[in-house]
Amino acid sequence: MIGWLEPVIPHLKALHVIALALWVGGLFGLPVMLARHDPAIGQADFTRIRLASHISYVWVITPAAVTAIVAGTWLIFLREVFVPWMFAKLVFVALLIGFHAWIGHHIVKVGETDGRHEPPGPRLPLLLLLVPVLTILTLVLLKPELGEIPLPGWLTEPRGRQLPVSDVPRW
């Protein structure tokens, strides 16, 4: 641990939690907003809901996602959490990022196709979102002992060979 950075950790963690609350909260709200992109609601309401989802995605939810990921990455190194539950958490964070991109794809589509693109109804996306969010929260709050990450033997045993000699000069 870099000693002089220790006082930064609680602030970084607070930033991480605030940003991820905005991010995940936004990801729950967007499918509901997307489902209201129905031309039957009239031009003025359609424009309003389209702008609201576009602006919140671009100016609030995506910056919150970037902030949560950057703060979380710093926390890994400052708290030295190089442990299996953290790697498992990162797999589910990758799913969350995929979900974020999928919702963004639908926001662009409804904006660019004059109401001809039918976004998914809210139920399936909300159910899909619950899986990574609940798994991440369980992992991070319980910090379970997941044992060793199973690696093939040839990755964990010395092969008895000379390491390649580097041409990079040593200072």
Question: What secondary structure, in 3-state letters, does the chain show?
Answer: CCHHHCCHHHHHHHHHHHHHHHHHHHHHHHHHHHHCCCHHHCHHHHHHHHHHHHHHHHHHHHHHHHHHHHHHHHHHHHHCCCCHHHHHHHHHHHHHHHHHHHHHHHHHHHHHCCCCCCCCCCHHHHHHHHHHHHHHHHHHHHCCCCCCCCCCHHHHCCCCCCCCCCCCCCC
Least distance in angstroms from the C-beta of 114 to ligand HEM = 34
Binding mask 140-169 for ligand HEM (x = CB under 6 A): xx----------------------------
Kindly tell me the sign of the dihedral angle through the C-alpha atoms of 60, 62, 66, 71: positive
The verdict on 129 binding ligand HEM (CB under 6 A) reads: no
Q: Quick one: which of 49, 93, 107, 110 contacts ligand HEM (CB under 6 A)?
A: 93
The verdict on 88 binding ligand HEM (CB under 6 A) reads: no
Binding mask 2-31 for ligand HEM (x = CB under 6 A): -----------x--xx--x---x-------
Contacts with ligand HEM in 39-68 (CB under 6 A)? 68
Question: Could you give the CA distance from residue 15 to residue 10 in angstroms, rounded to a whole number?
Answer: 9
Phi and psi at 88, nearest 5°, equal: -65, -40
Q: Which is nearer to ligand HEM, 69 or 117 (CB)?
A: 69
Segment lying near ligand HEM (by CB under 6 A), choices 55-63, 72-80, 101-109, 113-121: 72-80
How many residues bind to ligand HEM according to rule CB under 6 A?
Answer: 20
Least distance in angstroms from the C-beta of 25 to ligand HEM = 10
Interacting residue ranges for ligand HEM, rule: CB under 6 A: 13, 16-17, 20, 24, 68-69, 72-73, 75-76, 79, 81, 93, 96, 133, 136-137, 140-141
